[in-house]
Structure 1
Amino acid sequence: MSTRTVRLVTLGCKVNQYETQLVKEALVAGGFREAGEGDNADLCVVNTCTVTGEGDYKSRKIIRALARDNPGTRTIVMGCYATRDPMAVGELPGVFEVVTDKRELPDVLSRQGVHDIPDGISFFEGRKRAYVKVQDGCILRCSYCIIPKVRPGLASRSPASIEAEVRRLVDHGHKEIILTGIHVGHYGVDTTRGKSGQAPFRLWHLFRQLDQIPGDWRMRLSSIEANEVDEEFFKAAADCEHLCPQFHPALQSGSDSVLARMRRRYRTEKFLDKLDRIRAIMPDVAFTTDLIVGFPGETDAEFEETIATCRRAQFMKMHIFPYSPRRGTPAAEYPDQVSPEIRKARCQRLAGVEQGLASDYYSRFVGRPLELLVEGVVHARPGWVHGTDRHYIPVQLPGQKSDVGAMIACRGAEVCEGYLRAE
């Protein structure tokens, strides 16, 4: 009997990428082989995204393409779009299983002859960094976000399970581990919520524990809410040798009135105060963020407030998204929707601000030592490689393909457009 083949496709966030890897390892251990280019896959697995309507569209497009390019294939669809609209997903060609709840996954895989799902992953093929999912679920109700409807329950993994997984990944050669989740700052909240007498074990306790793992590796947090960090977090962050001095608090808007319409749980002064307190003990810390531009009702004055807040925050990198109405969220019904043309113009202007802030931050490291994880070769520049340092600065320097995957010491030399040249 020939080995069955599987093709896996992932859309969306780091959590989805982790969950696909977990399913892949289970399938391979159960006798499947990943289909190569040009192979007809017996089974396809699509992990979908529903953050935006575009995510739904891309999910449908990929499912149809898999059915067309893999005649006779049977497709399992999982992820947030499958949870949100299982009827629509189930009507797509080739689909025979729709996983609306991850707890159904063992039963779904068992029907494919796969009876053991590992407690965590062992490697992340093709990646220098490895994602480790530490929690799932979000209980907030931001007015623009659909995710609490499709991942509503908080669920934190045990510290022992996470530590064992990180050790496996480090032993496999991964040099950077990214702790990720749907709402990472809520790690551990569910373990003590509504329970008296139980000592809390929060995110900072977790990375203190992981910091005891020996070796030449580093860890990074995928994101954190500014209003969820306190003195314990600050002290633990400064004490942990392996933790990268780069944090990603999602601002979303730098205008208090817009934040109120978004139903965010902080205002700009509180946000900036938390950044200042971290900088007081980690002077060179890098902050990156997410921003939604053109939220319903956003005026020119409110947009200017966002620019001013970003300058005060001194973000090193900003992920800038034009607001996209999401059916099923309150914000989609708000009046005064901003036109696509204005959203685009504001995104472009904010991108210019980001470029200046990034260059200012990179300039601090000219002449200073850097710890670089080499992630690839610069194809347009033979004899050069690129990667990121501990502060998440993009770096390029002379090197060879054999350097890829290594952690190397170098020194910042010159600020260039979009990166720091090192030597």
Structure 2
Amino acid sequence: MVTLGCKVNQYETQLVYEALRKNGYREARDGETADLCVVNTCTVTNTGDSKSRQVIRQLARKNPGTRTLVMGCYATRDPQQVADLPGVFEVVTDKRELPDILERHGIHDMPVGISHFEGRKRAYVKVQDGCILKCTYCIIPSVRPGLQSRSPQQIEEEVRRLVDNGYREIVITGVHVGHYGVDTTRGKSGKPPFRLWHLFQKLDKIPGDWRMRLSSIEAVEINDDFISAAADCEHLCPQFHPALQSGSETVLRRMRRRYSMARFLEKLENMRERLDDPAFTTDVIVGFPGETEEEFEETLQACRDARFMKTHVFPYSTRKGTKAADFADQCPPQVIKNRVQRLSDLERDLAERYYESRLGLPAKVLVEREISGRPGWVRGTDERYVPVELPGTADDIGRFVDVVGRSASRESMQADRIDGQS
């Protein structure tokens, strides 16, 4: 099984993996030809399409005669192109039909949720699907249309199961997480509102030594109810990911985003006043059509003002089927490359500044791996998503370790263990 793209895709792959295992499948061993291959594709950029095709062709070469089931956003967007690739016998254009499709191939027992997360120390839980926004650069609303929220009870059962199975961190994810519950408890439904903050309040009651993290949230969805609930939650990590995309008011209007920079920054300050030194991470698209040097400088300044701990920097790429693909004044590739470098440099400076602000303070690190070439040291992330390096062994992987930061670089924080081990 191969997954490309986002946390939602990774969750959906895990769901299919557990369905296959439940119905008698096992992973092919080295040197063994797989009877079935599953590829979960991404289409958020042209590169996603290209990588998806490449993976499908490679699987066909390495597993002659295999059958490949292809799902994901690229399969939805261009099913015929996917169907024409070698080895493909089934293209899932609508994941709601996945149980029926799998049943046709002998998989009769489809789980309603996951119990494990292969290859990871944290587990993702998808709580909703779909997006109804109309951002001019984004293809996702056309391949994941509408809103579909899972029931709170089903989500709670899944999280309890994962915590019981030893997962110390649960990441709450979706295509548009902040719209959780909008489709099921609005308008004439007759049900009382049950939104994202109600959900993490409900999950917070699950006992145990674990934590939950929100994968993303739109700034306009950070209201007083959200902040109050977040402040009261014991298990919720004080790290939030409001996507900025641009710090220029004029670019934001061309993107058809729903906020002003002043309002965006106000939301972050409101959270800083109520929560314990929250960390903020974000996404920024560089080189959006028509972006001037002045507009890019506004983005740099906005990142400084927001004091982001981490910024995922994305060079804009034209996406056929979006409104922005037809905009005039597409930025030259060299200009985009230069701006990506400048924003990446700033991102590392801001990261180091935040890491330094946490020195001398206690933190709880989920250890994820040993550090290659550095015996006796491990690496993980703390509750604020700070990457931390600390003394440790393979026995620490998957565990929480209490630490205190002692030094910082642009890449990570170095820490000492509070438990006295070295």
Same fold (TM over 0.5): yes
Question: Which stretch of the first structure deviates more once superposed, 251-260 or 35-44?
Answer: 35-44
Note the C-alpha offset of 1:112. 1.9
Of 72, 88, 95, the match for 2:65: 72
Runs (5+) with no aligned partner, structure 1:
1-7
Alignment of 1:238-253 (within 5 A): 238-253=231-246
- Report the equivalent of 1:302: 295
Q: Is the 8 A contact 2:349 2:410 kept in 1?
A: no
Counterpart code for 2:125: V
Q: Does structure 1 residue 323 correspond to structure 2 residue 305?
A: no
Q: In the alignment, which residue of structure 1 is the partner of 2:339?
A: 346
Relative to structure 2, which stretch is displaced further, 14-23 or 360-369? 360-369
- What is the CA distance between 1:355 and its match in structure 2? 1.2
Deviation per CA, 1:381-414, whole angstroms, max 9, x where unpaired?
1110000000000000111111111101111111
Residue identity in the other structure for 1:290: D
CA distance in 1, matches of 2:191, 2:20: 38
**How far, CA to CA, are the matches of 2:409 and 2:245 in structure 1?**
28
Give the 3-state SS of the residue equivalent to 1:422 in structure 2: strand
Partner of 1:109: 102
- Equivalent residue runs for 1:153-232 within 5 Å: 153-195=146-188, 197-232=190-225
Deviates more, 1:339-348 or 1:103-112: 103-112
Give the match for residue 391 of structure 2: 398
* Contact residue 186 and residue 193 of structure 2 kept, 8 A: no
Tell me how far 1:417 sits from its aligned partner. 3.3
Deviations 1:348-385 (A, max 9, x none): 10111111111111112111111010000110211100
After superposition, give the CA deviation of every residue in 1:42-91 in whole Å (9 maximum; x if it has no partner).
00111000000111111111111111110110111100001000111111
Q: Would you say 1:367 and 2:334 are equivalent positions?
A: no
CA distance in 1, matches of 2:376, 2:221: 44
- Equivalent of residue 277 in structure 2, options 273, 284, 293: 284
| Identity fraction in percent | 67
Q: Does 1:335 align with 2:328?
A: yes
The aligned residue for residue 123 of structure 1 is 116
User: In structure 1, what is the Cα distance between the partners aligned to 2:118 and 2:50?
Assistant: 27
**Mapped partners of 2:139, 2:184: distance in 1:** 24
Count of residue correspondences: 416
Deviation at 1:196, TM superposition (A): 5.2
Which has the higher mean CA deviation after the structures are superposed, 134-143 or 407-416? 407-416
In 2: Cα distance, 1:203 partner to 1:23 partner? 26
Tell me, in whole angstroms, the C-alpha distance in 2 between the residues paired with 1:184 and 1:325: 25
Alignment deviations for residues 244-267 of structure 1 (CA, whole Å, 9 cap, x no partner)? 000000000000000000010111
Greater shift in the superposed pair: 104-113 or 159-168 = 104-113
Find 1:25's aligned residue among 18, 21, 34.
18
CA RMSD of aligned residues (A): 0.8
Cα distance in 2 for residues equivalent to 1:148 and 1:205: 25
**Corresponding residue for residue 36 of structure 2:** 43
SS where residue 192 of structure 1 aligns?
A: coil
Give the Cα separation in 1 of the matches to 2:281 and 2:89.
41
In structure 2, C-alpha distance between the alignment counterparts of 1:38 and 1:169, rounded to whole Å: 32
Give the letter aligned to residue 329 of structure 2. Answer: D
2:113 and 2:163 map into 1 onto residues whose CA distance is 14
Contact kept, 8 Å, 2:167 with 2:210, in 1: the verdict is yes
User: Are positions 1:270 and 2:270 aligned together?
Assistant: no
Give yes or no for contact 2:42–2:52 (8 Å, CA) kept in 1: yes
Determine the C-alpha separation between the residues in 2 that align with 1:88 and 1:194: 40
Rounded Cα–Cα distance in structure 2 between residues aligned with 1:61 and 1:42: 19
CA distance in 2 between counterparts of 1:231 and 1:398 reads 40
Residue 281 of structure 1 deviates from its aligned partner by: 0.6
TM (norm. structure 1) is: 0.97
**How far apart, in 1, do the equivalents of 2:186 and 2:327 lie?**
33
Number of the residue aligned with 1:311: 304
For residues 197 and 87 of structure 1, the distance between their equivalents in structure 2, rounded to whole angstroms, comes to 42
Q: Which residue of 2 aligns with 1:5?
A: none
SS at match of 1:149: helix
Alignment of 1:145-156 (within 5 A): 145-156=138-149
SS of the residue 1:32 aligns to: coil
Whether 1:54 and 2:51 are equivalent positions in the alignment is no
Match runs of 1:371-390 below 5 Å: 371-390=364-383
Deviation, 1:270, is 0.7
Task: Report Cα offsets for 1:142-198 as digits up to 9, x if no partner.
Answer: 000000000002000000000000001001100100000000000000012332542
Q: TM (normalized to structure 2)?
A: 0.97
Match for residue 135 of structure 2 among 127, 137, 142: 142
Q: What is the DSSP-based 3-state SS (H/G/I as helix, E as strand, rest coil) of the residue aligned with 2:372?
A: coil
